[in-house]
A and B are shown apart, each in its own frame.
Chain A
Amino acid sequence: MRKGIFLFCFLLLLSSSLFAHRVNVFAYKEGDKICLEGYFSDGTPARDSKVEVYNQEGRKILEGKTNEKGEFAFPVPQGKGDLKIVLLASMGHRAETSISIGGGLPLQTEKAERVEAKKLGGNEIEKIVEVSVEKAMKPVIKMIEEENRRLRLTDILGGIGYILGLAGVALYFLSRGKK
Protein backbone atom coordinates (compact mmCIF):
# COMPACT_ATOMS: atom_id res chain seq x y z
CA MET A 1 0.00 0.00 0.00
CA ARG A 2 2.84 2.39 0.83
CA LYS A 3 4.34 1.75 -2.57
CA GLY A 4 1.00 2.50 -4.11
CA ILE A 5 0.89 5.84 -2.36
CA PHE A 6 4.41 6.51 -3.53
CA LEU A 7 3.46 5.82 -7.13
CA PHE A 8 0.49 8.05 -6.68
CA CYS A 9 2.50 11.00 -5.40
CA PHE A 10 4.87 10.51 -8.30
CA LEU A 11 2.00 10.82 -10.75
CA LEU A 12 0.65 13.84 -8.91
CA LEU A 13 4.02 15.54 -9.06
CA LEU A 14 4.28 14.90 -12.75
CA SER A 15 0.87 16.33 -13.31
CA SER A 16 1.29 19.49 -11.30
CA SER A 17 2.82 21.39 -14.18
CA LEU A 18 0.65 19.88 -16.81
CA PHE A 19 -2.64 20.63 -18.43
CA ALA A 20 -5.98 19.22 -19.22
CA HIS A 21 -6.31 17.89 -22.71
CA ARG A 22 -8.99 19.51 -24.68
CA VAL A 23 -9.24 21.93 -27.51
CA ASN A 24 -10.36 25.50 -26.99
CA VAL A 25 -11.56 28.05 -29.48
CA PHE A 26 -11.46 31.77 -28.93
CA ALA A 27 -13.18 34.21 -31.29
CA TYR A 28 -13.02 37.97 -31.48
CA LYS A 29 -13.97 40.71 -33.88
CA GLU A 30 -11.27 42.75 -35.50
CA GLY A 31 -12.52 45.49 -37.79
CA ASP A 32 -14.71 43.87 -40.42
CA LYS A 33 -13.30 40.42 -39.82
CA ILE A 34 -13.97 37.76 -37.25
CA CYS A 35 -10.80 36.07 -36.13
CA LEU A 36 -10.55 32.90 -34.20
CA GLU A 37 -7.81 30.89 -32.63
CA GLY A 38 -7.90 27.22 -31.75
CA TYR A 39 -5.44 25.74 -29.32
CA PHE A 40 -5.07 22.76 -27.04
CA SER A 41 -5.01 23.51 -23.36
CA ASP A 42 -1.27 23.05 -23.16
CA GLY A 43 -0.91 25.91 -25.63
CA THR A 44 -0.18 24.02 -28.84
CA PRO A 45 -2.18 25.53 -31.69
CA ALA A 46 -4.85 23.39 -33.28
CA ARG A 47 -3.45 23.65 -36.77
CA ASP A 48 -5.13 22.43 -39.90
CA SER A 49 -8.42 21.94 -38.09
CA LYS A 50 -11.81 22.23 -39.68
CA VAL A 51 -13.85 25.30 -38.80
CA GLU A 52 -17.59 25.50 -39.32
CA VAL A 53 -19.64 28.64 -38.86
CA TYR A 54 -23.39 28.50 -38.29
CA ASN A 55 -25.76 31.43 -38.27
CA GLN A 56 -28.58 32.19 -35.85
CA GLU A 57 -30.92 29.76 -37.63
CA GLY A 58 -28.40 26.95 -37.35
CA ARG A 59 -27.54 26.90 -41.04
CA LYS A 60 -23.93 26.35 -41.98
CA ILE A 61 -22.72 29.48 -43.72
CA LEU A 62 -19.00 28.96 -43.83
CA GLU A 63 -16.34 26.31 -43.66
CA GLY A 64 -12.60 26.51 -43.56
CA LYS A 65 -9.39 25.33 -42.01
CA THR A 66 -7.07 26.89 -39.50
CA ASN A 67 -3.55 27.78 -40.53
CA GLU A 68 -0.20 26.79 -39.03
CA LYS A 69 -0.80 28.94 -35.95
CA GLY A 70 -4.30 27.60 -35.41
CA GLU A 71 -5.86 30.83 -36.63
CA PHE A 72 -8.70 31.42 -39.00
CA ALA A 73 -10.39 34.64 -40.11
CA PHE A 74 -13.46 35.39 -42.14
CA PRO A 75 -15.38 38.56 -43.02
CA VAL A 76 -18.29 39.46 -40.76
CA PRO A 77 -21.35 38.04 -42.50
CA GLN A 78 -24.58 39.93 -43.13
CA GLY A 79 -27.37 39.68 -40.65
CA LYS A 80 -27.76 39.79 -36.93
CA GLY A 81 -27.61 37.48 -33.99
CA ASP A 82 -25.22 34.91 -32.65
CA LEU A 83 -22.85 33.02 -34.85
CA LYS A 84 -21.93 29.58 -33.66
CA ILE A 85 -18.36 28.64 -34.44
CA VAL A 86 -17.34 25.00 -34.23
CA LEU A 87 -13.77 23.83 -34.33
CA LEU A 88 -13.10 20.20 -35.17
CA ALA A 89 -9.54 19.26 -34.34
CA SER A 90 -8.08 15.87 -35.16
CA MET A 91 -8.82 12.69 -33.21
CA GLY A 92 -12.30 13.60 -32.09
CA HIS A 93 -11.58 16.89 -30.37
CA ARG A 94 -14.24 19.51 -30.75
CA ALA A 95 -14.92 22.93 -29.32
CA GLU A 96 -17.48 25.59 -29.98
CA THR A 97 -17.99 29.21 -29.17
CA SER A 98 -20.38 31.92 -30.20
CA ILE A 99 -19.98 35.54 -31.13
CA SER A 100 -22.74 38.04 -31.74
CA ILE A 101 -22.76 40.17 -34.84
CA GLY A 102 -24.78 43.02 -36.19
CA GLY A 103 -25.84 44.16 -32.74
CA GLY A 104 -26.14 47.96 -32.79
CA LEU A 105 -23.78 48.90 -30.02
CA PRO A 106 -20.44 47.29 -30.76
CA LEU A 107 -20.44 48.29 -34.39
CA GLN A 108 -21.38 51.85 -33.63
CA THR A 109 -18.67 52.36 -31.06
CA GLU A 110 -16.25 50.93 -33.51
CA LYS A 111 -17.31 53.46 -36.13
CA ALA A 112 -17.03 56.28 -33.66
CA GLU A 113 -13.53 55.20 -32.81
CA ARG A 114 -12.62 55.08 -36.44
CA VAL A 115 -13.74 58.65 -37.05
CA GLU A 116 -11.92 59.87 -34.01
CA ALA A 117 -8.81 58.01 -35.01
CA LYS A 118 -8.74 59.59 -38.44
CA LYS A 119 -8.98 63.06 -36.97
CA LEU A 120 -6.14 62.43 -34.62
CA GLY A 121 -3.79 60.90 -37.09
CA GLY A 122 -4.93 57.51 -38.28
CA ASN A 123 -3.21 54.25 -37.70
CA GLU A 124 -0.74 55.42 -35.12
CA ILE A 125 -3.37 56.19 -32.53
CA GLU A 126 -5.03 52.89 -33.21
CA LYS A 127 -1.74 51.16 -32.59
CA ILE A 128 -1.08 53.08 -29.41
CA VAL A 129 -4.50 52.16 -28.08
CA GLU A 130 -3.96 48.55 -29.00
CA VAL A 131 -0.61 48.36 -27.26
CA SER A 132 -1.80 50.04 -24.09
CA VAL A 133 -4.90 47.88 -23.92
CA GLU A 134 -2.76 44.79 -24.30
CA LYS A 135 -0.50 46.02 -21.54
CA ALA A 136 -3.40 46.70 -19.25
CA MET A 137 -4.93 43.32 -19.98
CA LYS A 138 -1.83 41.27 -19.32
CA PRO A 139 -2.08 41.06 -15.53
CA VAL A 140 -5.77 40.26 -15.83
CA ILE A 141 -5.15 37.44 -18.28
CA LYS A 142 -2.35 36.13 -16.12
CA MET A 143 -4.59 36.20 -13.09
CA ILE A 144 -7.26 34.22 -14.89
CA GLU A 145 -4.72 31.66 -16.03
CA GLU A 146 -3.37 31.25 -12.53
CA GLU A 147 -6.86 30.90 -11.20
CA ASN A 148 -7.57 28.14 -13.71
CA ARG A 149 -4.46 26.33 -12.70
CA ARG A 150 -5.25 26.42 -9.02
CA LEU A 151 -8.73 25.13 -9.62
CA ARG A 152 -7.27 22.26 -11.49
CA LEU A 153 -5.29 20.98 -8.53
CA THR A 154 -8.36 20.99 -6.31
CA ASP A 155 -10.20 19.19 -9.10
CA ILE A 156 -7.53 16.50 -9.23
CA LEU A 157 -7.59 15.97 -5.50
CA GLY A 158 -11.38 16.13 -5.49
CA GLY A 159 -11.59 13.43 -8.16
CA ILE A 160 -9.31 11.13 -6.22
CA GLY A 161 -11.39 11.81 -3.13
CA TYR A 162 -14.55 10.80 -4.97
CA ILE A 163 -13.03 7.50 -6.04
CA LEU A 164 -11.69 6.62 -2.63
CA GLY A 165 -14.96 7.71 -1.03
CA LEU A 166 -16.97 5.49 -3.36
CA ALA A 167 -14.69 2.56 -2.57
CA GLY A 168 -15.23 3.25 1.11
CA VAL A 169 -19.00 3.28 0.70
CA ALA A 170 -18.90 0.03 -1.26
CA LEU A 171 -16.75 -1.64 1.37
CA TYR A 172 -18.99 -0.38 4.15
CA PHE A 173 -22.11 -1.88 2.64
CA LEU A 174 -20.37 -5.15 1.83
CA SER A 175 -19.06 -5.49 5.35
CA ARG A 176 -22.51 -4.73 6.79
CA GLY A 177 -24.10 -7.34 4.57
CA LYS A 178 -21.81 -9.98 6.02
CA LYS A 179 -22.83 -9.51 9.63
Chain B
Amino acid sequence: MHISEGILSAPVLLSGAGVTMVGTALGLRGMKEEKIPRTALLSSAFFVASLVHVPVGPSSAHLILNGLVGILLGWAAFPAILLGLTLQAALFQFGGLTTLGVNTMNMALPAVICYFLFHVWVKNKSPALAGIAGFLAGFLGVLLSGLMVALSLVFTGEYFRQVARLVIIVHLPIMFIEGVVTGFIVVFLRKVKPEILEG
Protein backbone atom coordinates (compact mmCIF):
# COMPACT_ATOMS: atom_id res chain seq x y z
CA MET B 1 0.00 0.00 0.00
CA HIS B 2 2.95 2.32 0.49
CA ILE B 3 3.79 3.98 -2.78
CA SER B 4 7.53 4.48 -3.16
CA GLU B 5 9.30 7.68 -4.06
CA GLY B 6 9.96 8.58 -7.65
CA ILE B 7 6.87 6.99 -9.14
CA LEU B 8 4.14 9.58 -8.95
CA SER B 9 4.08 12.86 -10.82
CA ALA B 10 4.07 16.23 -9.11
CA PRO B 11 0.32 16.98 -9.51
CA VAL B 12 -0.60 13.69 -7.85
CA LEU B 13 1.88 14.29 -5.03
CA LEU B 14 0.62 17.82 -4.51
CA SER B 15 -3.07 16.93 -4.47
CA GLY B 16 -2.31 14.11 -2.02
CA ALA B 17 -0.41 16.53 0.20
CA GLY B 18 -3.27 19.02 -0.02
CA VAL B 19 -5.92 16.51 1.03
CA THR B 20 -3.69 15.30 3.84
CA MET B 21 -3.10 18.84 5.08
CA VAL B 22 -6.81 19.61 5.19
CA GLY B 23 -7.59 16.29 6.85
CA THR B 24 -4.83 16.74 9.42
CA ALA B 25 -5.97 20.26 10.22
CA LEU B 26 -9.54 19.04 10.70
CA GLY B 27 -8.32 16.17 12.85
CA LEU B 28 -6.13 18.36 15.04
CA ARG B 29 -8.76 21.03 15.48
CA GLY B 30 -11.34 18.54 16.67
CA MET B 31 -8.92 16.76 18.96
CA LYS B 32 -9.74 17.33 22.59
CA GLU B 33 -7.30 16.73 25.38
CA GLU B 34 -8.79 13.45 26.47
CA LYS B 35 -8.58 12.15 22.92
CA ILE B 36 -4.82 12.54 22.67
CA PRO B 37 -3.77 9.30 24.43
CA ARG B 38 -6.22 7.34 22.31
CA THR B 39 -4.90 8.92 19.13
CA ALA B 40 -1.33 8.11 20.18
CA LEU B 41 -2.24 4.53 21.00
CA LEU B 42 -3.91 3.96 17.64
CA SER B 43 -1.12 5.76 15.85
CA SER B 44 1.37 3.32 17.36
CA ALA B 45 -0.87 0.37 16.59
CA PHE B 46 -1.01 1.54 12.99
CA PHE B 47 2.76 2.04 12.98
CA VAL B 48 3.38 -1.51 14.17
CA ALA B 49 0.58 -3.22 12.23
CA SER B 50 2.27 -2.77 8.89
CA LEU B 51 5.10 -5.00 10.07
CA VAL B 52 2.70 -7.90 10.33
CA HIS B 53 3.02 -9.68 7.05
CA VAL B 54 0.72 -12.12 5.42
CA PRO B 55 2.23 -14.03 2.52
CA VAL B 56 -0.20 -14.09 -0.41
CA GLY B 57 0.89 -16.26 -3.29
CA PRO B 58 3.73 -14.54 -5.12
CA SER B 59 3.54 -11.30 -3.19
CA SER B 60 2.96 -10.41 0.42
CA ALA B 61 0.83 -7.84 2.10
CA HIS B 62 0.66 -6.41 5.56
CA LEU B 63 -2.01 -5.30 7.99
CA ILE B 64 -3.09 -1.67 7.82
CA LEU B 65 -5.75 -1.34 10.52
CA ASN B 66 -7.05 1.88 9.00
CA GLY B 67 -10.67 0.78 9.49
CA LEU B 68 -10.09 0.44 13.22
CA VAL B 69 -8.20 3.72 13.40
CA GLY B 70 -11.07 5.35 11.53
CA ILE B 71 -13.99 4.19 13.65
CA LEU B 72 -12.20 5.07 16.86
CA LEU B 73 -10.77 8.41 15.79
CA GLY B 74 -12.84 9.98 13.04
CA TRP B 75 -10.96 12.88 11.47
CA ALA B 76 -8.15 12.40 13.99
CA ALA B 77 -7.25 9.38 11.87
CA PHE B 78 -5.44 11.82 9.58
CA PRO B 79 -2.84 13.05 12.09
CA ALA B 80 -2.55 9.55 13.59
CA ILE B 81 -1.85 7.91 10.23
CA LEU B 82 0.37 10.76 9.07
CA LEU B 83 2.54 10.34 12.14
CA GLY B 84 2.66 6.57 11.76
CA LEU B 85 3.61 6.84 8.10
CA THR B 86 6.25 9.48 8.76
CA LEU B 87 7.96 7.20 11.22
CA GLN B 88 7.62 4.21 8.91
CA ALA B 89 9.22 6.18 6.10
CA ALA B 90 12.03 7.43 8.32
CA LEU B 91 12.77 4.18 10.11
CA PHE B 92 11.83 1.41 7.68
CA GLN B 93 11.98 3.17 4.31
CA PHE B 94 8.37 2.23 3.60
CA GLY B 95 7.06 4.62 1.00
CA GLY B 96 8.99 7.83 1.26
CA LEU B 97 8.90 11.39 2.47
CA THR B 98 7.73 12.90 -0.81
CA THR B 99 4.88 10.40 -1.09
CA LEU B 100 3.83 10.95 2.50
CA GLY B 101 0.87 13.11 1.49
CA VAL B 102 -0.48 10.65 -1.05
CA ASN B 103 0.07 7.64 1.20
CA THR B 104 -1.63 9.33 4.13
CA MET B 105 -4.57 10.29 1.95
CA ASN B 106 -4.84 6.74 0.60
CA MET B 107 -5.05 5.23 4.06
CA ALA B 108 -6.70 7.96 6.13
CA LEU B 109 -9.52 8.95 3.79
CA PRO B 110 -10.98 5.42 3.83
CA ALA B 111 -10.58 5.50 7.62
CA VAL B 112 -12.69 8.65 7.84
CA ILE B 113 -15.25 7.17 5.44
CA CYS B 114 -15.47 4.09 7.69
CA TYR B 115 -16.04 6.41 10.64
CA PHE B 116 -19.01 8.09 9.03
CA LEU B 117 -20.47 4.84 7.79
CA PHE B 118 -20.07 2.73 10.90
CA HIS B 119 -19.53 4.77 14.05
CA VAL B 120 -23.24 4.75 14.83
CA TRP B 121 -23.43 1.02 14.27
CA VAL B 122 -20.51 0.03 16.50
CA LYS B 123 -22.42 1.63 19.38
CA ASN B 124 -25.46 -0.48 18.62
CA LYS B 125 -27.01 -2.30 21.54
CA SER B 126 -26.67 -5.67 19.91
CA PRO B 127 -23.08 -6.94 20.16
CA ALA B 128 -23.57 -8.97 17.00
CA LEU B 129 -24.52 -5.90 14.98
CA ALA B 130 -21.62 -3.93 16.43
CA GLY B 131 -19.25 -6.76 15.60
CA ILE B 132 -20.53 -6.91 12.04
CA ALA B 133 -20.11 -3.16 11.72
CA GLY B 134 -16.52 -3.55 12.97
CA PHE B 135 -15.89 -6.29 10.47
CA LEU B 136 -17.25 -4.18 7.63
CA ALA B 137 -15.15 -1.20 8.72
CA GLY B 138 -11.95 -3.26 8.74
CA PHE B 139 -12.84 -4.86 5.42
CA LEU B 140 -13.88 -1.67 3.68
CA GLY B 141 -10.91 0.32 5.00
CA VAL B 142 -8.47 -1.93 3.18
CA LEU B 143 -10.64 -2.24 0.09
CA LEU B 144 -11.00 1.52 -0.32
CA SER B 145 -7.28 2.03 0.30
CA GLY B 146 -6.50 -0.47 -2.43
CA LEU B 147 -8.76 1.39 -4.84
CA MET B 148 -7.13 4.69 -3.94
CA VAL B 149 -3.64 3.27 -4.52
CA ALA B 150 -4.80 2.07 -7.92
CA LEU B 151 -6.30 5.47 -8.63
CA SER B 152 -3.05 7.25 -7.67
CA LEU B 153 -1.12 5.00 -10.01
CA VAL B 154 -3.41 5.62 -12.97
CA PHE B 155 -1.58 8.84 -13.71
CA THR B 156 1.72 6.99 -14.06
CA GLY B 157 0.30 5.12 -17.03
CA GLU B 158 -0.70 1.96 -15.24
CA TYR B 159 -4.18 0.80 -16.09
CA PHE B 160 -6.65 1.33 -13.29
CA ARG B 161 -8.47 -1.94 -13.66
CA GLN B 162 -5.28 -3.95 -13.86
CA VAL B 163 -3.71 -2.39 -10.78
CA ALA B 164 -6.95 -2.33 -8.86
CA ARG B 165 -7.51 -6.00 -9.53
CA LEU B 166 -3.98 -6.86 -8.43
CA VAL B 167 -4.08 -4.75 -5.28
CA ILE B 168 -7.44 -6.16 -4.30
CA ILE B 169 -6.54 -9.78 -4.98
CA VAL B 170 -3.35 -9.45 -2.93
CA HIS B 171 -5.20 -7.76 -0.10
CA LEU B 172 -8.24 -10.02 -0.08
CA PRO B 173 -6.93 -12.12 2.84
CA ILE B 174 -5.90 -8.90 4.60
CA MET B 175 -9.43 -7.54 4.23
CA PHE B 176 -10.85 -10.59 5.96
CA ILE B 177 -8.20 -10.63 8.67
CA GLU B 178 -8.67 -6.93 9.38
CA GLY B 179 -12.41 -7.36 9.31
CA VAL B 180 -12.24 -10.11 11.91
CA VAL B 181 -9.64 -8.28 14.04
CA THR B 182 -11.60 -5.02 13.93
CA GLY B 183 -14.87 -6.81 14.66
CA PHE B 184 -13.40 -8.53 17.71
CA ILE B 185 -11.77 -5.36 18.99
CA VAL B 186 -15.09 -3.50 18.70
CA VAL B 187 -16.97 -6.20 20.60
CA PHE B 188 -14.20 -6.32 23.18
CA LEU B 189 -14.09 -2.56 23.66
CA ARG B 190 -17.86 -2.41 24.07
CA LYS B 191 -17.52 -4.77 27.00
CA VAL B 192 -14.53 -3.28 28.80
CA LYS B 193 -14.49 0.35 27.75
CA PRO B 194 -17.68 1.37 25.97
CA GLU B 195 -16.95 5.10 26.31
CA ILE B 196 -14.06 4.82 23.86
CA LEU B 197 -16.56 4.17 21.08
CA GLU B 198 -18.48 7.36 21.82
CA GLY B 199 -15.83 9.72 20.46
Chain A residues engaging chain B, CB cutoff 8 angstroms:
3-4, 7-8, 11-12, 14-15, 18-23, 40, 42, 44-45, 47, 86, 88, 90-96, 152, 155-156, 158-160, 162-164, 166-167, 170-171, 174-175
Contacts and interface: CB of A to CB of B under 8 A. Distances in A.
B94 A21 contact: yes
Q: Most B CB atoms within 10 A — which of A91, A96, A159?
A: A91
Given A3-B193, A20-B51, A21-B50, A88 B7 contact: yes
Interface stretch (B37-45, B119-127, B128-136): B37-45
Per DSSP, are chain B's interface residues mostly helix, strand or loop, or mixed? helix
- The contact size tier of chain B is 35 or more
A91 B44 contact: no
B41 A4 contact: yes
Contacts of A15: 48, 51-52
Contacts of B188: 3
B46 to A, nearest CB: 9
B93 A155 contact: no
Contacts of A93: 2-4
B58 interface: yes
A95 B43 CA distance: 27
Give the 4 A-B CB pairs with smallest separation, nearest first.
A167-B40, A92-B3, A94-B4, A15-B51
B69 to A, nearest CB: 13
Contacts of B47: 159-160, 163
B91 A158 contact: yes
A11 B48 contact: yes
25 contacts: A3-B188, A7-B185, A15-B51, A18-B52, A20-B51, A20-B93, A21-B53, A23-B4, A44-B55, A44-B58, A45-B58, A88-B7, A90-B59, A91-B149, A92-B2, A92-B7, A92-B152, A94-B7, A156-B48, A160-B48, A163-B44, A163-B87, A167-B40, A171-B33, A171-B36
B6 interface: yes
A15 B91 CA distance: 15
Nearest to B49: A11
Nearest to A21: B62
B33 A155 contact: no
Contacts of B39: 167
B41 to A, nearest CB: 6
A179 to B, nearest CB: 13
B163 interface: yes
A163 B52 contact: no
B144 interface: no
B5 A11 contact: no
B185 A159 contact: no
A94 B4 CA distance: 6
